[in-house]
A and B are shown apart, each in its own frame.
Chain A
């Protein structure tokens, strides 16, 4: 693995994972079909109760309901992360070829995915951490299809690795999921939009300055004219 510089970590505590999910939930539009990936993205579903948003699970389920507790579980009803789920009024089931016709055919208004790295151009690396030592193999799952097919791709992730290495870089050095696909990055410190001009810093959490965010980011950030505190 290539050597990476460490970020400067501010004293201000970062957002909890649930709060990253809340910021993303507030970004989703009513009337939209959304696919949520594994990890922080799954938590977004906790914040959309009562909203007019339909969750697609790529296993083959539209209107995927909340997680099912013991006693309410059915071995034939799981989501794409192998968790037992409930169905809702209006749920429908279908096969994987139909599920990925929805994803590849551009029917997902938004997808929320986790990431290992995102580049200044919006390249996404999320399926293969070289540290695991699997070379060119690994778990691709539906990530490449979602990255290419979703109308809006939102990345939910921690701003840097547990070792303090930056995850937002000029160029990804991990194997790519897809090129130039990310629209917005929401981290535990900031909200950054990928634009043709570069990465635009739009929001930071309370107590964090644009300069702080830049010191945690290994790609050049353009500070938005209306840069402001993240509201939750």
Chain B
């Protein structure tokens, strides 16, 4: 099985307007930079993006926003931390003006919605968010005297993930804290596209150390090592 594509542009060529796409990364770590740039170049519109945040060091996502490609965002820490930076930030401005619709979740719920989508589980109950705005409009059920919210799985049409090493069959290894959401998103994607810093032949990865098994990954593209060390805040 060979899932490799020659370029990020070819790997994303069939993504249509209106697609729901998940993007790995926790702040700057594990960002699928090349795939996201290719998506900005392609210019598809009315996208729903599932991503931790847009406010800090996520220039690639910001490009999609300023291009007017994003209709809706699903996040857990959407905005810059500082209120003054936020007021100047194009994403926050687009949300405030209603140009972009925003849905927010606590991190644990956000990632579990993705994991469940990948695992064939339609929803789950969690105590996180009970008694807060997160609970509005959601079913509450009591187990052993404690209230829990029903949260639903979040399947996505495409998932973009960034891995340190990958092989031609889509087995992936992440580096340090660049692991973050990439595995859950790879599981949630109907079509998961992995950009890898180094592409290896089948059999060259240590089979004891695979983080995401290739069955969750449809396409692989080698991009080299991006440098975003200066993006941290």
- Residue B127 interfacial (CB < 8 Å): yes
Residue-wise, chain A 111-131 has the 8 Å CB interface mask toward B (1 for contact) of 000000000000100001101
Q: Are A137 and B95 within 8 A (Cβ)?
A: yes
Given contacts A95-B184, A139-B79, A149-B128, contact A100 B108 (CB under 8 A): yes
Q: List 5 A-B contacts (CB under 8 A).
A: A82-B233, A93-B176, A96-B181, A97-B111, A137-B104
Given contacts A76-B29, A103-B108, 16 further A-B contacts (CB under 8 A): A59-B177, A73-B229, A75-B229, A78-B29, A82-B57, A96-B107, A129-B83, A132-B86, A134-B95, A138-B78, A139-B53, A139-B81, A140-B134, A141-B106, A148-B128, A179-B131
- Residue A45 interfacial (CB < 8 Å): no
Residue-wise, chain A 44-78 has the 8 Å CB interface mask toward B (1 for contact) of 00000000000001111100000000000111111
- A138 vs B129: C-alpha distance when bound (angstroms): 14
- A140 vs B74: C-alpha distance when bound (angstroms): 12
Q: Are B128 and A145 within 8 A (Cβ)?
A: yes
State the Cβ distance, A190 to closest chain B Cβ, in Å. Answer: 26
Contacts of B132 in A (CB 8 A): 144, 175-178
- Residue A104 interfacial (CB < 8 Å): yes
- Residue A3 interfacial (CB < 8 Å): no
Contacts of A100 in B (CB 8 A): 107-108, 111-112
Question: Which of B106, B175, B233 is close to A144, meaning CB atoms less than 8 Å apart?
Answer: B106
- A177 vs B182: C-alpha distance when bound (angstroms): 26
- Residue B171 interfacial (CB < 8 Å): no
Contacts of A104 in B (CB 8 A): 108, 126, 128
- A60 vs B24: C-alpha distance when bound (angstroms): 13
Contacts of A144 in B (CB 8 A): 106, 108, 128-129, 132, 134
Residues of A within 8 A of B (CB): 38, 57-61, 73-80, 82-84, 87, 93-97, 100, 103-104, 123, 128-129, 131-134, 136-145, 148-149, 175-179
Q: Which range holds the interface residue count of chain B?
A: 35 or more
State the Cβ distance, B227 to closest chain A Cβ, in Å. Answer: 7
8 A Cβ contacts from B188-233 to A: 211, 227-229, 232-233
Contacts of B183 in A (CB 8 A): 95, 97
- A75 vs B95: C-alpha distance when bound (angstroms): 29
Given contacts A75-B227, A140-B134, contact A95 B179 (CB under 8 A): yes
Q: Are A93 and B107 within 8 A (Cβ)?
A: no
Q: Are B27 and A95 within 8 A (Cβ)?
A: no
- A80 vs B25: C-alpha distance when bound (angstroms): 11
- Residue B178 interfacial (CB < 8 Å): yes
- A94 vs B30: C-alpha distance when bound (angstroms): 13
Contacts of A143 in B (CB 8 A): 106
- A58 vs B29: C-alpha distance when bound (angstroms): 13
State the Cβ distance, A215 to closest chain B Cβ, in Å. Answer: 29
- A123 vs B132: C-alpha distance when bound (angstroms): 11
Contacts of B181 in A (CB 8 A): 95-96
Contacts of A136 in B (CB 8 A): 133, 136
- Residue B115 interfacial (CB < 8 Å): yes
Task: Name the residue on B nearest A82 (C-beta).
Answer: B27
- A177 vs B114: C-alpha distance when bound (angstroms): 22
Contacts of A59 in B (CB 8 A): 26-27, 29, 177, 180
Given contacts A78-B232, A82-B56, contact A176 B131 (CB under 8 A): yes
Given contacts A95-B184, A100-B111, contact A78 B27 (CB under 8 A): yes
Q: Are A60 and B104 within 8 A (Cβ)?
A: no
Task: Name the residue on A nearest B83 (C-beta).
Answer: A132
